[in-house]
Amino acid sequence: MYELIQVSDSSYYIQSPAKIGLVKLNEKEVCLIDSGNDKDAGRKIRQILDANGWTLTAIFNTHSNADHIGGNRYLQGQTGCKIYAPGIECDFTRHPILEPSFLYGGYPCKDLRHKFLLAQESNADRLTNDTLPEGFEIINLPGHFFDMVGFRTPDNVVYLADCLSSRQTLDKYQIGFIYDVAAYLETLAMVKTLNAKMFIPAHAEATDNISSLAQYNIKKVWEVAGKIIELCKEPLCFEAILQRLFTYYSLTMNFEQYVLVGSTVRSYLAWLKDTGKLNTRFENNILLWEQI
């Protein structure tokens, strides 16, 4: 873990729970794409920088989930590097309490205020094309989270953040986190068409061909959607739908899974309602979801 792997002349990634990109800007200066999940990840990154005699100039965050911004504060404090994050993600990076609050739908209890959902605050600026090193390209990847992006480097390596999961992860957990299902499917359809020397997804193996994995992720989205529609043959409230999905997929409920899968299921329900596949009604002051 935290091994530095070179994939082209200037592009690397650090093997970690969420892969961290590292790109050489010249012989001495590098930038990071994300920073890992906590201060310890930041320390390990710092050790890699020191061992290679590199100076960190900037961290470019793909999005604001805690496992991608957790090393920001430590590394910024140690190196004085700049931090950039796109759109709303910049606000979440500056105010990370927004992540567990959004997931829970209110002020999060202590069970949700930990490093896996609540990173330390960091001083981030808004990511724009003008803030990128020369030759870098922003790739918009909405769907998994609000304004998530990826990056194409000058040597044609594409970092894809969390826009898809590995087959093994999907087969084990079935329901990957999604904020906007329609946008997510559009992103995956776009990713299928990309060409690059190498693709670096945060939660799947590096590959020179991403198309089949993108299609597998699309297939899983439609499978989950189909299961939700099937469950709603009878009118069900959200909690009943969530409980039946956990049982069907043999998932284990805890606070983290309740908010992560629960938020995703709410997103599926909204999408299915907006696309005319589910209807809602209120009965005895309970919101019920049902097939049309």
CATH class of 4-162: alpha beta
Residue-wise pLDDT for 163-214, tens only, equals 999 999 999 999 999 999 999 999 999 999 999 999 999 999 999 999 999 9
Structure tokens that stand for 196 in this block: 């690059």
Sheet holding 137-140, edge to edge: 137-140, 149-152, 157-161, 198-201
DSSP run (H or E) holding 51: helix 39-52
- Does position 122 have pLDDT exceeding 90, yes or no? yes
Instruction: Work out the average pLDDT over 231-251.
Output: 98
Domain ranges of the chain: 4-162, 163-197+211-292
Residue-wise pLDDT for 15-40, tens only, equals 999 999 999 999 999 999 999 999 99
pLDDT at res. 175: 97
pLDDT at res. 251: 96
pLDDT at res. 181: 98
Distance separating alpha carbons of residues 230 and 55, to the nearest angstrom: 54
Angstrom distances, CA of residue 129 to CA of 135, 193, 242, 256: 10, 23, 40, 35
Distance separating alpha carbons of residues 222 and 117, to the nearest angstrom: 27
Same fold, 4-162 and 163-197+211-292: no
pLDDT at res. 1: 87
163-197+211-292: CATH topology is Arc Repressor Mutant, subunit A (1.10.10)
Helix 181-191 with 211-231: angle, nearest 10 deg: 160
